[in-house]
Structure 1
Amino acid sequence: MPSNAKIVISQFGGPDQLEILDSDIPSPQEGEVLVKVSYAGVNPIDVKTRAGLGWAAQHNKNNLPWTPGYDISGMIIKQGVGSHKFNLNDMVAGFIGFPLRGGGYSQYVCVPENELALVPEDISLKAAAAIPLAGQTAAQALEKAQIQSGETVVILAGAGGVGHIAIQIAVAAKTTVYATCSSDNIEYVNSLGATAIDYTKADYLKDIGQIDVLIDLVGGDVALQALNYLHPGSRVITVPTITASSICEQASQQGIIGVGMLVEPDVTQLEELVKLISAGMIKVEVEQVINYQDVSHAHKKIETGRARGKILLNMQS
């Protein structure tokens, strides 16, 4: 019988703390399905949790070893009692176990079927694994900002997993989009319909003029400095939870509407995003697919802050 390799955090620390354990293949409970995972998305929250930072780490510190991973794509190979949404061998993707259960960095994982969306044949399982957390974070940030046609939107970290999708949604909403990136991603960000801004240049937001909405995917000092280019009544949605309170406090002192957010898994929204990919309206960028045995390399790549689009783990290689 095949075993189930899964990646675990056995203690908090650097990327080398990630270990691979072999366990039995689990059996789906009522309302669950067993997914043979093809790809698992690697997200900044995985890196923070592994380092012992943030909410998921706080809540799982007495629950180690713990398997991270919230984005998966793969095939249903077994159904639990009362599972009727899918058929055996259906291809699915999901934003699973968020924020406490995780489990995506596994070759086989049992998932409540209501966390999964069907992946049509015209979408690759790579694209499907890249969209759940990043796509829903992008969509929900722009919803919270209540962007309006004709407004100017600035996205910090436009080339990343969330940023490249946020650009495309904001462009489709007929806003004028500027997005920060490193010099080697300028052409790529421009190709998505935004105006790319090299964040290494001094005063890089100075020439934009009136900014209505800031989507902050960076946090910390970078975001605090960006607030200086907004005007009273502008809105800022800040995604990194660790610095959200300080950014919202500073925003409020400047008459700016500041909101922190934690993405909420929503399978209906995921199904909508899958349809948009299928229709060619959103293009998902996967920079690199890394063998799951090299997971520490994937985490180091995310920590550079320089990934273009998404980094995936190939869980079956």
Structure 2
Amino acid sequence: MRTALLRRFGGPEVIEFADVPRPEPGPGQVLVRVAAAAVNRIDLSTRDGALARAGLLAPAPAYALGWDVAGTVTATGPGVARFAGGDAVIGLRDVLSAPGTYAEYVVLDEGALAPAPRTVPLPAAATLPLIGLTADRSLALTGLGPGGILLVTGAAGGVGGLVLQLAAARGIRTVALARPRDEALVAGLGATWFVPHGGAAETQAEVETVAAAVRRVVPGGVDAVIDAAVLGVPAHEALRGGGVFVTLVAPFAPPPLRATRVVVQEVFADGARLGELSALVDAGQLTLAVADTYPLDRAADAHRRLAAGGLRGRLVLVPGH
């Protein structure tokens, strides 16, 4: 089978493809014929060496790419009870040393998989695992219930958009921070208020502008923040005293000023919860967006396009088998 790998770090041109034996599932494992694999920013960080420099990748002769997968069960190992050959599934590869999903087949633990939503094509279904589980856990970490007020930065992105939808379903009010052009988009995803923001805030004047803009909407500050855009301190300044700040990237976590609580969301392969999110897609409560699809051997092109920014929807690789 064909699989993507990295023998060195660098630009998109370092992505190689190799023909390797098709993997076999062991006890408690499932072999999935890959129909689609979403392209995520963590793939870019793997490829350019950022994860290795941060000490998150052990030295190895080659590294894999790809976290998300949608496909069809081809074989199961001993002890697998939830899935059988022919089942359409989605799943998450959360162990960096394991084979990636930029491949024609992948083996995952049974607990990392869930039934694919029936109402969307598999390329769209492949976009759910990583951002869906990230959004869901981030929202849970805020501790907010109905009536709470949440600031979502990067609200028009993959994680932010799903946070808006999940929050609306739970009666949580949201302030959506996004580019001016995305006001209608985030309103359609359930945002209560919209605050335009053109990019990362770096100067003190911009910090005050972000905080002031949010506090004009919510005097006293919001109850919690999910910082999907990784703004850090500028977003924290919009938080009330004693509130909760959820960051998705640990090195950019702000200090817990004014008795706030800062927590880092760490995603993991939770097939049971992923199944519940899949059911929400089928119930029409979560929408998934695909910006474009690429053949597997054009993974480098997909990386270039993702790095360029400006996408509304996800990029997905589709193996040709």
Calculate the TM-score normalised by the size of structure 2.
0.88
Which residue is 1:27 aligned to?
24
* Structure 1 stretches lacking a partner, 5+ long: none
Please tell me whether residue 143 in structure 1 is matched to residue 140 in structure 2: yes
Contact 2:142 2:224 in 1 (8 A): yes
Q: 1:300 is matched with which residue: 297, 301, 304?
A: 304
Q: For 1:295 and 1:57, how far apart are their aligned partners in 2?
A: 24
Please tell me whether residue 241 in structure 1 is matched to residue 250 in structure 2: yes
Which residue is 1:104 aligned to?
101
Contact 1:34 1:110 in 2 (8 A): yes
Secondary structure in structure 2 of the residue aligned to 1:6: strand
Secondary structure in structure 2 of the residue aligned to 1:141: helix
State percent identity of aligned pairs: 28
Instruction: After the TM superposition, list the runs of 4 or more consecutive aligned residues in structure 1 that deviate by more than 4 angstroms.
Output: none
Deviations 1:47-94 (A, max 9, x none): 112221237973434223111111100011122233332121111110
Aligned 1:128-139 pairs, distance under 5 A = 128-139=125-136
Deviations 1:221-265 (A, max 9, x none): x22112222221121100123323xx1x2xx23332211121122
Q: How many residues align?
A: 307
Which residue is 1:17 aligned to?
14
Contact 1:241 1:262 in 2 (8 A): no
Change in 2 beyond 3 A, CA 1:198/1:100: farther
Which residue is 2:196 aligned to?
198
Which residue is 2:161 aligned to?
164
Superposed displacement of residue 288, structure 1: 1.9
Q: For 2:162 and 2:99, how far apart are their aligned partners in 1?
A: 23
Superposed displacement of residue 309, structure 1: 3.1
Please tell me whether residue 78 in structure 1 is matched to residue 75 in structure 2: yes
Contact 2:153 2:178 in 1 (8 A): yes
* Structure 2 stretches lacking a partner, 5+ long: 200-205
Which residue is 2:122 aligned to?
125
Please tell me whether residue 280 in structure 1 is matched to residue 280 in structure 2: no
Q: For 1:148 and 1:102, how far apart are their aligned partners in 2?
A: 38
Aligned 1:215-230 pairs, distance under 5 A = 215-219=226-230, 222-230=231-239
Instruction: Report the AA paired with residue 188 of structure 1.
Output: L
Q: For 1:126 and 1:147, how far apart are their aligned partners in 2?
A: 32
Contact 2:6 2:15 in 1 (8 A): yes
Q: For 1:300 and 1:281, how far apart are their aligned partners in 2?
A: 32
Calculate the TM-score normalised by the size of structure 1.
0.89
Deviations 1:201-223 (A, max 9, x none): 8624523223111100122xx22
Change in 2 beyond 3 A, CA 1:174/1:84: closer
Contact 1:97 1:103 in 2 (8 A): no
Q: 1:52 is matched with which residue: 49, 52, 59?
A: 49
Which residue is 1:174 aligned to?
171
Superposed displacement of residue 99, structure 1: 4.1
Which residue is 1:185 aligned to?
182
